[in-house]
Amino acid sequence: MDKKEIASFFDSLAESWDEEMIKSQWKIDRILSIAEVTQGKSVLDVACGTGVLVPDYISRNVRKYVGIDISHNMIEIAKNKFLGYGNISYICEDAETYKFSESFDCIVIYNAFPHFANRTLLFENLSAHLNDSGRITIAHGMSREALTRHHSGRAESVSTVLPEISELKEIMKPYFNIDTCISDNDMYVISGTKL
């Protein structure tokens, strides 16, 4: 996948992203509980888009929130939605390679994992910016099969197939101690702590 194509694709969708977003609050609550997003934690939201989950992070009283996305237009919308919060910031960069100036308690990749082509590079980079007791969580608010169908249309050129959860666990093993794997009709969630 071409990074410029991915950025351009999501730039073109940014304007209507929030209108077309389908959010299931119980799924988000479950995912963020698995991710151990609680009061006082610092959170890195990878591929944050327009800041879809920011209200949930605010309601959980996180100490610090950093959203990163490759799409300039998505980041600009997110920035303008949550003004006045000193603990919220955004970075328009590639999460596979960007060197953060800090580490985080929680790293969450929500509804975005198939858009990362180099998973090894992504995990190497993110593990380097996860605190020793920190947790990474990759989640989708739909089943693997439903997501594959969803990406089979216009997003096919900017997506990879979401792997079986057992396969992803093996890919993540060199970097993380995976302790949660859910792949059912409602969601796809894999979560673990830094090795």
Q: What is the spatial distance between Cα 75 and Cα 119, in angstroms, rounded to a whole number?
A: 22
- Over the stretch 145-183, which tens digit does the pLDDT of each residue have? 988 786 666 666 777 888 999 999 999 999 999 999 999
Query: Which helix (H) or strand (E) covers residue 66, if one does?
Result: strand 64-69
pTM, to two decimals:
0.94
- Over the stretch 16-37, which tens digit does the pLDDT of each residue have? 988 888 889 999 999 999 999 9
Q: What is the spatial distance between Cα 128 and Cα 100, in angstroms, rounded to a whole number?
A: 9
Predicted local confidence at residue 150, as pLDDT: 65
Mean local confidence (pLDDT), 6-20: 90
- Over the stretch 55-112, which tens digit does the pLDDT of each residue have? 999 999 999 999 999 999 999 999 999 888 999 999 999 999 999 999 999 999 999 9
Residue 193 near residue 177 (C-beta atoms within 8 A):
yes
Q: Which domains does the chain have, with CATH numbers?
A: 3-194 (3.40.50.150)
Instruction: Label residue 186 by pLDDT band (50, 70, 90).
Output: very high
**Residue found by looking up tokens 């351009």 in the block:** 8
User: What is the chain's mean pLDDT, rounded?
Assistant: 93
3 state SS of 191: strand
9: Cβ–Cβ under 8 A, 6 or more apart, which residues? 155, 157, 158
Looking at the DSSP bridge assignments, the partners of residue 64 are 42
Predicted local confidence at residue 126, as pLDDT: 98
Query: Which helix (H) or strand (E) covers residue 144, if one does?
Result: helix 144-150
Does residue 137 register a pLDDT over 80?
yes
Say which residue, 117 or 37, is predicted with more confidence: 37
Q: What is the spatial distance between Cα 65 and Cα 87, in angstroms, rounded to a whole number?
A: 6
Q: How far apart are the first and last CA of the chain?
A: 29
Q: Can you give the length of the chain in residues?
A: 195
